[in-house]
Structure 1
Amino acid sequence: MKKILPLMLMTVLSCSKATKVTEKSKESQFNFGVKPSDKVSLKIQNIGNVTVKSSVPDKIVAMITKSATSQNRSKAAELVDAIIFTPVRSAEAITYKPGFPAISSSEKVSTDVTFLLPLNQHFPVSVATVNGKLHIGGIRGNVNALLKGTCPVFIKTFTGRLELNSEGGDMSIGYKITGGSIKSNSGNILLTQRLKNMDEDLIISSTSGDVSLELINNPEFSLELDGKKGIENKSATIKLSGNNYKGKGKYRIVVKTGGKIILRPDLF
């Protein structure tokens, strides 16, 4: 009996660690014609990765891939087929809100969605996603994002106002931010700001992450900094008085974090 028990235990452990299988659909594409005079916003509610970037004029393109993970291939494929994902166009907005099937605690479902927006047009963008990367690049507009779970953020060559609220994941954000707020419960934040002044205050807060600021030289906005683990100033033109810098402009970048604040070398 003593020789049989270890073998039984090994069998139970190997069954409990069964390999999960992920199935993905082929990419589906949807096209929506838009004119420069159209006032259209983009609204996204998702589980999974979201990418929004600029592309050709007069057209919005959505590219979507469905994904599911389960204990076997047939169940994963069944979950993929059950995901409903067609974007809807109205006069005011294009809305993407996929329908996901009920799953067990060991299963996962998601969609990876990419929207291509016309170059040099202004678009309000609203994103809510869970456990997915957020990529935004080359667009103009206002972005409002609510991110749950772990959601790394990459925002590059963006011009406009931001409202970001994230539960976790590092953020890299740039480069012409006109104002708004950036909030993170955890994860580090890097802000690259090429504007000398803004249209309103920009408020940055993090519970525990480090906040790095890469700013244009001699900015006109002011800085109010509160870093629990200290402030490191590598800027050649920003001279702090205590934890603050007084610019000649009206607006401020305000940073409060449980981590460290780093002023990186100036942008030119």
Structure 2
Amino acid sequence: MEILVTGATGNVGRNVVRQLAEAGAEVRALTRSPRTAEFPRGVRVVAGDLTRPDSLADALKGIDRMFLFPVAETARDVVASARQAGVRRIVVLSSGAVTMGFDHDFHLPVERAVEASGLEWTHVRPGEFAMNKLALWGPSIRAESVVRDPNPDLAWYPVHERDIADVATLALLEGGHDGRAYTLNGPDMLSHRRQVELIAEAIGQEIRFDVMSRDEAREIYRAQGGFAAANADFLLGFEDYSGNETDSQALDEFGPTTADSMEIDPAAADSTAAGSMPTAEAVTGVPARTFAQWARDHAQEFLPG
């Protein structure tokens, strides 16, 4: 049994590759840049691009199971190629936004393509990635020991990427997960201010929290580039999950809503306002990793040089 991991250099994919290799599975890691990718010993690295399904033929030969990174535009063709090649099981990296009914264009089409294939399937639907805060706040913490953010009290349950990989790995290796969709969150509802405090504790230095307007934050994110620039409008509530412009007047008066940001204001509700949030523990039997643990795991990445 050989398993293909697509998106193998991503935050989740690289952990899935490592965990499968540690479990003794035969692993094939798909990447667009095989010459520069680094994986554990014994992992076979193959070239391919999910945006070009015709590039996957060699990568899919002999594959029994597949971890699928979501690319909506080509999902049907990729899944058809996988089925034709003999793949029997696909585990999809999806999103908690599907569970909450916000996602109709990005992850949901991938789920539907896999379900329509007749293959065994499992959807892994993480909520907010804790790793997003490294992409958003890491540059300013490294350079100035400061976080600039318009919403100190906005809160959600950031999930550790290793929890997501744990669930995906079990679904690839074990039976009993066919036809299941697992929504995953972190164990604690934490405001942005509290998350910054936990990062400060992990790196052993004070981090200043500067509150600014949404417009100021958008300019900073856009200038920062990368993930911050690409997602600034959504993260700051200027557009919804599908990229549609939101009501700026309502946002200025009430702040980002749960539907816009998948976060809530704990000042307006108690800590259980969002209900009981599912974590990886329901699948793995192991308590979900906390944000404090995530911050310790990535402490060095918040430090200069």
Give the TM-score band, short-chain normalised: under 0.3
> Which structure features the higher share of strand residues?
1
> Could you state the TM-score of these two structures normalised by the residue count of structure 2?
0.20
> Could you state the TM-score of these two structures normalised by the residue count of structure 1?
0.22
**Which structure's CA Rg is the greater one?**
1
